[in-house]
A and B are shown apart, each in its own frame.
Chain A
Amino acid sequence: MKQFKGRVVTPGEVTAEAVVTKEGFNTLASLQMALQFGDKEVKCGDQSNKELYGKPLINKALCLPQTIGSTTGGLVLYCACSMEKNPACMLFANHIDSLAAAGAVLADVWVDGVTMPVIDGLGDEFLSYVKDGMKITVKADGIVEVE
């Protein structure tokens, strides 16, 4: 088991299975079709992301460098949380980007009853180490345990 320390962007504790991308996560391209057409597994719809395309994202610990793409990305994330179709948590190797930060904050402030912990600054080593399927535990203080 390895531990990584990051910064808490939105708080919470959770344990989930990792799903990993080393590419920028295009939130709109990844989630919009799944949300729109009621995909219960919320499979990633971004055909440009070979690592994630077709993989279920709901209730997973999404491990990524940052998000990219449309400025609807933040509100897509907010909608995913409102519909309880969000990842269990989002774990950023880099500093969080403005769109993901917006989505995480909007969900934290405006959605009752749904918690999606978001940690950033976990570092390149985190993203190199973590693999799909590994058990992730996110602690309240920003510690992320990877088994």
Chain B
Amino acid sequence: MILTKEQQAILQGEKGETLAKVMKTLVMYGDAFEAEKLVPITSKYNHLVTSFGLKVMSPVYDLMQQLLDADVSSEQKFSVDPRPLDKNVPANFLQNLVFNKFMYTKQDFYEGQLDKLGLIDKNAFTCTCYMDEVGNKPKKGDVLSWAESSAVVYANSVLGARCNRNSGIIDIMGSIVGFVPYFGLLTDEGRKATWVVKIQTTKKPEAQLLGSAIGMKVMEDVPYIVGLDKWIGNELNDSTCAYLKDFGAATASNGAVGLYHIENLTPEAVELGENLIAEGAKEYVIDDAELERVNNNYPVIWKNPDAKPKLCFVGCPHLSLEQLKDWTLKLEAELKKNGKKKVTVNTVFTAAPGVLETFEKTEYAARLKATGVITSYICPLMYMYNPLCKKMPVITSSNKLRTYTSARYYTDAEILETITGGRN
């Protein structure tokens, strides 16, 4: 890697040992990918994945403290993934004991560190930082140092920004030095598709199921998806962006996708079309049978596979304002149809604090509350890490949550039916 004189000086310790180690980390990281240089970060804000003060992650907080003690924090402020806890989310006495006394014991301490390192504000805790209500929305071509797989894939694919799948800690280190190594998804070559995915379904594919299938097939490669615009349109409106948010999260968690192109829809695909497809790209055809196969192959790790669900999470990644409104309408209709007033399973919808604040000002908030659904800002994954929650039969519309926890995945329609008492 060729460094500028300034970068070289930092590496050699002229600005202190800690900053030298930060630079060494980024250089070694870049060297692993034959990066020839470091390039400046251009986005207004960063986004960090580590939002939780989990006792086992103490080495992370120790490292953060080294950065703070050496006064090497950056000028670039950041948003961060969701908080782990909210007293409004149902949890029994023992579950709460584990949360508060054994798991997230360093939450306040870590949030203090985040504040000092450059957190935008106390509400900047969401995986969907790019929502208008949150305001961390990079421009096309912006170079980022983000982490959070669902946010990276959204920023790259839907917004046309440029970011590698950075790990936690690497995210903040990029901000500190102001540069990231130039490789992979920052480069034109790295953004070319080595898979062509042909959608041949007879109906609109479920976003997180489709994402899961594609993620598991292509792993970290870039797919160029043909035939999806037929179902979701060729305009990046609220509804389509919400679909892509969920789709991308599934590709990134079930596989390792950092960028996808959707013909006639996503910005680079609209601009470059099939020129984005690399020579020798592999093909993957997805029809109804393939989606069914993928869905049927998810492992069910409930002790009793026929158990009645005790909790339902919707919103991993966090829901958009439109999704909250849409779910309110669907719930009202389905509850009425089934002769119910409230949901029959404890159900939590999660969204960004900023989105929830805006939602609260609409007529839909009271209507959703009347259905018995609880809204929260937490990360459902953080909740499910609790071993006492792991034992509970929990259902979800998130394939990301399914991947990391014991929660069982169902489509939106199946979830709707189940929580409104229409499905045994």
Contacts and interface: CB of A to CB of B under 8 A. Distances in A.
Interface of A: 9-10, 24, 26, 28-29, 32-33, 35-37, 47-48, 50, 65-75, 78-79, 82-83, 95-99, 101-106, 108-111, 120
B385 A106 contact: no
B219 A24 contact: yes
A103 B403 CA distance: 21
Nearest to A73: B167
Contacts of A65: 219
A70 B255 contact: no
Given A36-B54, A69-B256, A101-B29, 5 more contacts: A35-B56, A69-B149, A72-B49, A102-B169, A110-B25
B126 to A, nearest CB: 15
Contact of A98 (B33, B254, B387): B33
Contacts of B55: 36
Contacts of B147: 71-72
Interface of B: 21, 24-25, 28-29, 32-33, 49-50, 54-57, 59-60, 63, 103, 147-149, 152, 164-171, 184, 215, 219-220, 252-256, 258, 298-299, 301, 385, 387, 403-404, 406
Contacts of B25: 105-106, 109-110
A58 to B, nearest CB: 15
Nearest to B26: A105
Contacts of B385: 32-33, 36
Nearest to B146: A71
A68 B56 contact: no
A122 to B, nearest CB: 15
B106 to A, nearest CB: 13
B169 A97 contact: no
Contacts of B298: 48
Query: Which residue among B25, B50, B169, B404 has the maximum number of chain A CB atoms within 10 Å of its CB?
Result: B404
Contact of A69 (B56, B184, B387, B403): B403
A82 B57 CA distance: 10
B412 to A, nearest CB: 22
Contacts of B220: 66, 68, 97
A99 B32 CA distance: 11
17 contacts: A33-B385, A47-B301, A65-B219, A68-B220, A71-B148, A73-B167, A74-B168, A75-B60, A75-B168, A97-B165, A98-B258, A102-B29, A102-B167, A104-B32, A105-B25, A105-B28, A109-B28
A10 B31 CA distance: 11
Nearest to B24: A109
A68 B169 CA distance: 17
Contacts of A37: 387
B165 A79 contact: no
B59 A36 contact: no
A31 to B, nearest CB: 10
A79 B219 contact: no
Would you list the 9 A-B pairs with minimal beta carbon distance, nearest first? A74-B167, A102-B167, A82-B59, A75-B168, A68-B256, A71-B147, A101-B32, A105-B28, A36-B56
B164 A98 contact: yes
A73 B33 CA distance: 18
A105 to B, nearest CB: 4
Contacts of B254: 68
Contacts of A66: 219-220, 256
Contacts of A24: 219, 255-256
A74 B33 contact: no
Contacts of B215: 68
B21 A110 contact: yes
Contacts of A71: 49, 147-149, 152, 165-168, 171
B404 A70 contact: yes
A103 B49 CA distance: 14
Given A47-B299, A78-B60, A108 B403 contact: no
Given A71-B49, A98-B33, A106 B256 contact: no
Contacts of A26: 403-404
Contact of A106 (B103, B170, B403): B170
A54 to B, nearest CB: 11
A47 B303 CA distance: 13
Contacts of A72: 49-50, 147, 167-168
A81 B56 CA distance: 12
B256 A79 contact: no
A96 B170 contact: no
Contacts of B301: 47
A105 B60 contact: no
A34 to B, nearest CB: 10
B49 A70 contact: yes
Nearest to B48: A71
A29 B25 CA distance: 25
A71 B150 CA distance: 9
B256 A67 contact: yes
